Structure 1
Amino acid sequence: MAPSVDGRIVTASWKLPSTLYAEYERTARTFDADAWMIGRVSMAPYAGKASIPKRKVAPVPRKDFIARRDAGSYAIALDPSGKLRWRSNDIDGEHVITVLTEKVSDAYLAFLQSKGISYLFGGRSDVNLKRALEKLHQVFGIKKLLLEGGGKINGSFLAADLVDELSLLIAPVADGSIDTPTLFDAGAVPVARRLKLKSVQKRSGDLVWLRYTRAR
């Protein structure tokens, strides 16, 4: 993640040079991850706005659909209600996987299949994140996953104690906004987790790269 010094993650008003984004990609590549995951809202600009046919379709079994399992890397969306309107089954060559719940409509599942988009079910009405990660490993061989925001999905993973390492590229900005997404938005129930500092680096553009591991 690339938050401000006060933990905000909405970058639109920061007016930062492209240095931040270049450093973000450079530091992310050092993890040599098999896949990256973001939530529905963050994924929407990547997915696009394809039309979903409104015609009635035959019932679709609530079984995982695997369109491809041999991709070099994967782009994963957490979309419990099935709202993303995918134009394509890949993002810059990375095969798309979407994690759903069984409450999605038959029409939406038929739409995903027609696009060649893989999907996994994470639960009946809510996603069990641990089970979803187990499936991603078992089916696609994903061992290392970059979780790249926003605050709600980060908070959900934190609450489920599924964060092994935290990589922060601190932007040289004090945001000060009220009621905007932060690095972790886990809700009203406290989920504080102890971390252990792994490294600190100064990067170009007045950026600081902090790495923490989960203190067990």
Structure 2
Amino acid sequence: MDRATRPYIICHMVPSVDGRIVTKGWSLPRSALAEYERTAGTFGAQAWIIGRVSMEPYAGKARVPKRKARQPIPRTDFIAKHDAESYAIALDPSGKLTWKSGSIDEEHVITVLTEQVSDDYLAFLQAQGVSYLFGGKTELNLERVLQKLRKDFGIKKLLLEGGGKINGSFLAAGLIDELSVLLAPVADGGIGTPSLFDAKEGRGPARALKLVSMERRKGDLLWLRYKVKR
């Protein structure tokens, strides 16, 4: 895929030293979250993208009403706003997020769907002012989605922030350009919990990396930056 037709992708995460990413129970200092936000801000990204489960706390809870209209809604992209300063993007193939509004802290919301979602749900998103893009009929084509984000919203740089399966799917598709990890001073030791990249069972789609920089940050965090070798 021509990188000029899609955003530059930086995967930015806070894993434990053994690669786990569920931070609950780690007892990290407050400075760790502040460091994550500070380092993320240095990239100048215009958007961030996460999966449905990770987005649920941000989306909120609202009711999806039944439509009175009988006319079907065409499966074409809906752009509620295309000139926002920044965007919050959710990968939600089945349309399960019940958005309370079309923004998160003044960042315009874009949700990525498959064509299997209901007309009721599409009408709900339009009423909430949430932009939506279709990434495929039954499964998401990430390359297609990224091209739309660049073309329709002008997004040139994008932070990929999990979870593990979403990160893994981008890795497998060769769509990550840079990896930025704030290595937490924690040995998790969990089995079966999400890791930094969960692409598939067995041997994964290994990608070679080149170290760009390393820096000690507050709270004993180690900030490592890598470029993905092509």
Shorter-chain TM band: over 0.9
Show the counterpart of 1:2.
Answer: 14
Of structures 1 and 2, the one scoring higher in RCO (CA 8 A, sep 6+) is 2
Measured in 1, the distance between the counterparts of 2:209 and 2:72 equals 46
Q: CA deviation at 1:187?
A: 1.1
TM-score, normalised by the number of residues in structure 1: 0.98
1:72 paired residue among 78, 85, 107: 85
Contact 1:102 1:124 in 2 (8 A): yes
Contact 1:38 1:150 in 2 (8 A): yes
Show the counterpart of 1:17.
Answer: 29
Q: Which runs of 5+ in 2 are unaligned?
A: 1-12
For residue 116 of structure 2, give the secondary structure of its aligned residue in structure 1: coil
Contact 2:165 2:198 in 1 (8 A): yes
Q: % of aligned pairs identical? A: 70
Measured in 2, the distance between the counterparts of 1:159 and 1:54 equals 38
Instruction: Give every structure 1 segment of 4 or more consecutive aligned residues whose post-TM-superposition deviation is greater than 4 Å.
Output: none
Measured in 2, the distance between the counterparts of 1:182 and 1:158 equals 13
Question: What is the number of residues matched between the two proteins?
Answer: 216
RMSD of equivalent CA atoms: 0.9
Contact 1:37 1:145 in 2 (8 A): yes
Measured in 2, the distance between the counterparts of 1:140 and 1:42 equals 23
Show the counterpart of 2:120.
Answer: 107
Report the residue type matching 1:110 in the other structure. Answer: A
Measured in 2, the distance between the counterparts of 1:56 and 1:152 equals 37
**1:128 is aligned to 2:141:** yes
Contact 1:56 1:107 in 2 (8 A): no
Q: Which runs of 5+ in 1 are unaligned?
A: none
Measured in 1, the distance between the counterparts of 2:50 and 2:157 equals 14
1:51 paired residue among 45, 63, 66: 63
TM-score, normalised by the number of residues in structure 2: 0.92
2:200 paired residue among 177, 187, 190: 187
Q: CA deviation at 1:16?
A: 1.0
Measured in 1, the distance between the counterparts of 2:68 and 2:223 equals 51
Report the residue type matching 1:39 in the other structure. Answer: G
